[in-house]
Amino acid sequence: PPPLPPWQIVRERRATFAATPAQNALRPGPVTALKNLFLAGDWTATGLPATIEGSVRSGDRAADLVLAANPEKRP
């Protein structure tokens, strides 16, 4: 195989929040007290640590809730 390009490993301990049980208990779901405001992001209760997959999953879920609240906007 061709040689690998130059690479390096970067370790950043504070890149994300610590996914401890105590911190996980603080993560909110997508629904808020306001009917036209939904939360998304890796910091919400995604069931995953702070990852791209968690943020994408939460964005999909929030978008589904927006469409369910506004069926006339569904494509």
Ligand X SMILES: Cc1cc2nc3c(=O)[nH]c(=O)nc-3n(C[C@H](O)[C@H](O)[C@H](O)COP(=O)(O)OP(=O)(O)OC[C@H]3O[C@@H](n4cnc5c(N)ncnc54)[C@H](O)[C@@H]3O)c2cc1C
Which parts of this chain interact with ligand X (CB under 6 A)?
Answer: 12, 15-16, 41-42, 50-53, 55
Give the length of the chain: 75
> Residue 10 or residue 69: which is nearer to ligand X going by CB?
10
The minimum distance between CB 16 and ligand X, in angstroms, equals: 5
CB 30 within 8 A of CB 58: yes
Compare residues 19 and 69 and give the one whose CB is closer to ligand X: 19
Query: Cα separation of 57 and 30, whole Å?
Result: 11
Listed in sequence order, the residues at least 6 apart from 47 whose beta carbon sits closer than 8 Å to its beta carbon are: 54, 57
Q: Least Å distance between CB 40 and ligand X?
A: 7
Show the tokens assigned to 18.
């610590």
Nearest CB to ligand X, comparing residues 23 and 51: 51
